[in-house]
Amino acid sequence: MLERRGLSRVHQRIVFFIARYPNLSVKELLALLGVTKQALNIPLRQLVEMHRVDSVASETDKRKRLLTDDGARLEQSLRREQVKLLERVFAEAGETAVNGWLAVNLALGKTQVPAE
């Protein structure tokens, strides 16, 4: 689905976090993604050029990001595809494997360093 649109997982992660945290600043997005400005620059610019992300000026930061209507539809479509994939894989893997996967992800979530 991503390749068909000329996008990568980096684009998906950007869209995901902007959808979850509207008016996210570039600094906040960098912290959530754990990447450098250089790594974020090209894919974010591509999303803006594709009219998936808008830049909004605020009193404190001229670089707040919001999804456009097209960007929101893209994020919802990608999320639906991911849910379908997880449902299928979880059904194949069985309850024990799913519980193990959930336990690992919960433990990983506890190790995250909060953004400053």
| pLDDT 10s digits, 87-100 | 999 999 999 999 99
- Categorize the per-residue pLDDT at 35 as very low, low, confident or very high, splitting at 50, 70 and 90: very high
pLDDT for residue 116 is more than 50: no
Q: Which CATH architecture is the domain 3-110 placed in?
A: Orthogonal Bundle (1.10)
- Of 78, 66, 58, nearest to 11 by C-alpha is 78
Question: Can you tell me the mean pLDDT for 39-62?
Answer: 87
The one-letter code for the residue type at 60 is T
Question: Can you tell me the mean pLDDT for 90-111?
Answer: 92
Q: Report the pLDDT value the prediction gives residue 61, as an integer from 0 to 100.
A: 65
Cα separation of 3 and 59, whole Å? 37
Cα separation of 60 and 24, whole Å? 12
Q: Where in the chain are the domains?
A: 3-110
Residues with Cβ within 8 Å of residue 57, at least 6 apart in sequence:
64
